[in-house]
Amino acid sequence: MAEEARSIDPATLEMIDKAREDGSSNVFERSSNMKPCPIGLEGSCCRICSMGPCRVPLPKNKEETAEERAKRKGVCGATAETIAARNFARMIAAGSAAHSDHARKVTETFLLAAKGEAKGFTIKDEQKLLQVALNFGVKIAERSNEEIATEIGELVMKEFGRQEGELTPVKSAPLKRQELWQKTKVTPRGIDREVVEMMHRTHMGVDQEYKSIMSQAMRTALADGWGGSMLATDLQDIMFGTPAPVLSQINLGVLKKEDVNIIIHGHEPQLAEMLAVVVQDPGIIEYARSKGARGINLAGMCCTANEILMRHGVPIAGNFLQQELAIVTGALEAIVVDVQCIMQGLADVAQCYHTRVITTDPRAKMTGAEHIEFDEHRAWESAEQIIRTAIDNFPNRGKNIRIPDQKTDLVAGFSHETINYLLGGLFRASYRPLNENIINGRIRGVAGVVGCNNARTVHDNAHITLVKELIKNDVLVLQTGCSAMACAKAGLMLPEAAREFAGEGLASVCEAVGIPPVLHLGSCVDNARILIAATAMVKDGGLGDDISDLPVAGAAPEWMSEKALSIGQYFVGSGVFTVFGTTWPTTGSKELTEFLFKDYESIYGGMWAFEADPYKMAELMLGHIDKKRKDLGLDKARDRVLYDMAMRRELDAV
C-alpha cells in the first residue's frame, strides 16, 4: 500500500513520515512487510490438535468439483465447515471473554468501593444504583447506598459463575426477543459457562456440526452483550458517573510541547479515573514544574480514552493505529497501558525515543516495558507513582520533537440516559420524539457504527465515508470505540455537523434537540448502551415489538479484534442486520457463510453481511432500513406532521 494510502488523517501521515526519518518501526510499515496468510484469512486452517495444522482452502479462480469438495478435509476428517465454524466461534469466545473479564475486574473494584476499601472510589450515580438494584431485585427501603451497592456487587459477581437459569440483564431485552432466545436455546446461563462450553465444544473431536457450533457461539456472544459488557457499563456508571454531554478535543495535536505528556491506553477505566484526578493535584503539578515542565497533560487512546472522555472530557490523542505514532512525536513521557488493543510494537518504538511504556495490570505485561501495578486498595498512591515516573522522564526528552497541529473539537457523553433526557426532557424523558421522527420520516433509521482500525485498510477512511453517507441519508448514527474517534476527528461529532453533513430531515431534528448527527456512546463495552437504546425504541411503541422490527442496522467497517466479532454476533442475535468490512473470516466455507449471511435472518431476525467498500456498505444498510420501514408501513413519504394528543395516544396504543 502506498504511504499516502495508509490513512486519511494528516496527523497520522505526518507521523508515519517522521517514523521513517527516525528509523522507527510502526504498524503501517510492518503490515507492508507481512502479507496475511490467505488460508488463515478465510478460516480454512485448523491447528487445534497436533495431527495438523490442517489446511483446507477453497480452490482459487474455479468452481470446486464434487470430488475436490469431498477431499477438502482435515486429517481427522473435519470438514471445511466445521473448521471455519470452530475458528469463528473461538474468536467470538475470546472476544466475549475479554469484555467479561473486564467486567469482572470492574465488579471487584465496585465491591471494594461499596465496602469503603478502595480509597477514592465511591458511588457517584445514585439514580443508576437504584435502577440496577431494581433490575436485580435488591431491596432499597432505608438501606444506605453502600449496603445496596454491596449486595448488587455480590449478585453481579455470581453472574459470572452462574450455572443455570438466565443472566439477569437478559430480562432488559424486549419480551419477544427473550422468547426467541428461549425457543432457540441460546439464552445465556452464566458468563463464564458459555465461554468455557464454547472452548470445549471446539476442542478436537467434540461438536462437529457447524450449525450446532454457531448456536453456542450465539449464546457466548449474548453472554457478552447482555451480560459482561452490559454489567461493566452499569457498574462503571454507578462508580464513575453516567456520562452527560461534554466538550473535548481529539487527535495527536492534543499533546503539548511544554507539558509532561502522559497517555493512558487500553480499556478499563479504574486507573484512568484516578490518573484524571491525581494530575490535578497541586503538589504533583508543582513537582512537574520543578522538572522544567509547564504542567501535566493527560490524554487517552483507544477505549480507556473513551471512558475518561465521556466522564471527564479528557482529550483523546488518537485511535488504535495511532498508538505508536504518539511516541514518534518525541513529546510523550509515558504511555500507560492496561488491557486489550495494546501493540507489543510500543516497546520497540519507545527504544528510539525517551518514552516509558508502563504496564499496570497483572494480566497484561510486556517484554521491554516496565510494570507498575495498579492496586485498587491504594489507587491514589499507584496513580501518583505512575505520574511521578512520567514527570521524572521529562528532562530526558530529546530535541527531535514534532507534534502534528491537527486536533478537532467534539461533543461526547451520550449515554442512553442522556439521549432519553435530551429527547424527552426532564419530566417526560423518553425515546418518543425519536420514534415519532422515524415514523414521520424525518429520520430514516438508526445505525450503530463501531469497531476498530485495521492496518489492512486505509486508516479511518471506511468509518468516515460510511457515516457521512448514512447521515446524508437521514440516518442517525450511534458510535463507540475507535470508529467514534475516526468520525470525531472528521468533525462529525459537533452539533454544527448536522447542517453541514446531514440530510434535511435529520438536520432539522438535530438542530431542534441540539445534538450532533453522530452520537458518541463510549467504549467497546458501551455497545451495550446501543442494545438498551434499541430496546427503549421498541418499548416506546410504534416501531414493532422487537429489535428486529426496527429500521436499524449495525456496522464495523475497519474491525480487527476478536471482541468486534463477539459484538457483531450479539448484535445479529439481538435482531440487527450487521455489516463488517475489511475481511470476512469464514469465506473458506460457502455453507457456513450462507448460514450466517442468509439463514440467520429466519432464525434471529438479524444477519451478518460483508462489504469492504464503505459506499456499498451504506447502500446495504439503507436497503435494510428501507425494508424495515416498508414492513412497518412507513415506506410512503409522510408529511411532516405535528402530533396532537389524540394522535399520540393512538401511537402509544400500537
Positions in the binding site for ligand MSK (CB under 6 A): 267, 302-303, 320, 341, 451-452, 481-482, 523-524, 561, 563-564
Among residues 278 and 302, whose Cβ is nearest to ligand MSK? 302
Residue for grid cell 444477519 = 607
The DSSP line for 291-310 is: TT-S-EEEEEEHHHHHHHHH
Under rule CB under 6 A, residue 621 binds ligand SF4 = no
φ/ψ (deg, to 5) at 293: -90, 160
Among residues 207 and 361, whose Cβ is nearest to ligand SF4? 207
CB of 40 to ligand SF4, least distance (A): 13
- The one-letter amino acid at 78: A
Contacts of 442 (CB under 8 A, 6+ apart): 474, 505, 506, 508, 509, 640
Residue 536, binding choice from ligand SF4, ligand MSK, none, Cβ under 5 to 8 Å by partner class: none
SS3 413: coil
Under rule CB under 6 A, residue 632 binds ligand SF4 = no
Binding-site member from 76, 246, 364, 429 for ligand SF4 (CB under 6 A) = 76
Q: Cα–Cα distance between 491 and 474 in angstroms, integer?
A: 17
Beta bridge partners of 406: none
| Interface mask toward ligand SF4 for 223-262; x: CB under 6 A | ----------------------------------------
CB of 52 to ligand SF4, least distance (A): 2
SS3 285: helix
Residue 488, binding choice from ligand SF4, ligand MSK, none, Cβ under 5 to 8 Å by partner class: none
Among residues 213 and 493, whose Cβ is nearest to ligand MSK? 493
Among residues 263 and 302, whose Cβ is nearest to ligand MSK? 302
Residue for grid cell 477438502 = 72
Binding-site member from 39, 204, 277, 612 for ligand SF4 (CB under 6 A) = 204
Under rule CB under 6 A, residue 74 binds ligand SF4 = yes
Among residues 44 and 306, whose Cβ is nearest to ligand SF4? 44
Residue 452, binding choice from ligand MSK, ligand SF4, none, Cβ under 5 to 8 Å by partner class: ligand MSK
Binding-site member from 1, 37, 75, 247 for ligand SF4 (CB under 6 A) = 75
Q: Is 290 exposed, middle or buried (0-12, 13-18, 19+ CB in 10 A)?
A: exposed
| Interface mask toward ligand SF4 for 489-518; x: CB under 6 A | ------------------------------
Q: Cα–Cα distance between 315 and 297 in angstroms, integer?
A: 9
Binders of ligand SF4 among residues 263 to 302 (CB under 6 A) are none
CB of 43 to ligand SF4, least distance (A): 12
Judge if the upstream peptide bond of residue 59 is cis by omega within 30 degrees of 0.
Answer: no
Q: Cα–Cα distance between 30 and 18 in angstroms, integer?
A: 16
Contacts of 420 (CB under 8 A, 6+ apart): 429, 430, 431, 536
How long a stretch of residues is the chain? 654
Dihedral sign, CA of 278, 280, 281, 287?
A: positive
Dihedral sign, CA of 126, 131, 136, 139?
A: positive
Q: Cα–Cα distance between 63 and 265 in angstroms, integer?
A: 46
Residue for grid cell 451497592 = 149
CB of 305 to ligand MSK, least distance (A): 9
Residue 140, binding choice from ligand SF4, ligand MSK, none, Cβ under 5 to 8 Å by partner class: none
Residue for grid cell 435494510 = 624
CB of 85 to ligand SF4, least distance (A): 12
Nearest 5°: the CA angle 302, 523, 555 is 95
Residue 302, binding choice from ligand SF4, ligand MSK, none, Cβ under 5 to 8 Å by partner class: ligand MSK
Contacts of 154 (CB under 8 A, 6+ apart): 111
Rg of the chain, C-alpha, whole Å: 24
Binders of ligand SF4 among residues 6 to 65 (CB under 6 A) are 46-49, 51-54
CB of 207 to ligand SF4, least distance (A): 12
Contacts of 633 (CB under 8 A, 6+ apart): none
Residue 78, binding choice from ligand MSK, ligand SF4, none, Cβ under 5 to 8 Å by partner class: ligand SF4
Beta bridge partners of 580: 556, 610
Among residues 442 and 459, whose Cβ is nearest to ligand MSK? 459
Contact 555, 579 (CB under 8 A): yes
Candidates 69-77, 402-410, 452-460, 546-554; binding stretch for ligand SF4 (CB under 6 A):
69-77
Q: Cα–Cα distance between 575 and 603 in angstroms, integer?
A: 9
Residue 341, binding choice from ligand MSK, ligand SF4, none, Cβ under 5 to 8 Å by partner class: ligand MSK
Among residues 505 and 568, whose Cβ is nearest to ligand MSK? 568
Q: Cα–Cα distance between 280 and 32 in angstroms, integer?
A: 42
Candidates 73-81, 119-127, 361-369, 572-580; binding stretch for ligand SF4 (CB under 6 A):
73-81
Among residues 84 and 443, whose Cβ is nearest to ligand SF4? 84
CB of 484 to ligand MSK, least distance (A): 8
Among residues 473 and 523, whose Cβ is nearest to ligand MSK? 523
| C-beta neighbour count of 171 within 10 angstroms | 12
Q: Cα–Cα distance between 200 and 163 in angstroms, integer?
A: 15
Q: Cα–Cα distance between 335 and 301 in angstroms, integer?
A: 9
Candidates 72-80, 289-297, 308-316, 565-573; binding stretch for ligand SF4 (CB under 6 A):
72-80
Residue 481, binding choice from ligand SF4, ligand MSK, none, Cβ under 5 to 8 Å by partner class: ligand MSK
Residue 524, binding choice from ligand MSK, ligand SF4, none, Cβ under 5 to 8 Å by partner class: ligand MSK
Cell of 23: 528509523
SS3 445: strand
Q: In Å, how far are 89, 192, 479, 597 from 221, measured between CA atoms?
A: 9, 11, 19, 17
Binding-site member from 78, 89, 490, 533 for ligand SF4 (CB under 6 A) = 78
Among residues 36 and 116, whose Cβ is nearest to ligand MSK? 36
CB of 77 to ligand SF4, least distance (A): 7
Among residues 216 and 483, whose Cβ is nearest to ligand SF4? 216
CB of 93 to ligand SF4, least distance (A): 17
Candidates 68-76, 146-154, 388-396, 471-479; binding stretch for ligand SF4 (CB under 6 A):
68-76
CB of 321 to ligand MSK, least distance (A): 9
CB of 73 to ligand SF4, least distance (A): 8
Q: In Å, how far are 24, 99, 169, 308, 332 from 256, measured between CA atoms?
A: 22, 33, 43, 19, 9
Question: DSSP class of residue 54?
Answer: E
**CA atoms within a 13 Å half-sphere pointing along the CA-CB vector of 294:** 7
Residue 413, binding choice from ligand SF4, ligand MSK, none, Cβ under 5 to 8 Å by partner class: none
The residue ranges that bind ligand SF4 (CB under 6 A) are 46-49, 51-54, 74-76, 78, 83, 204
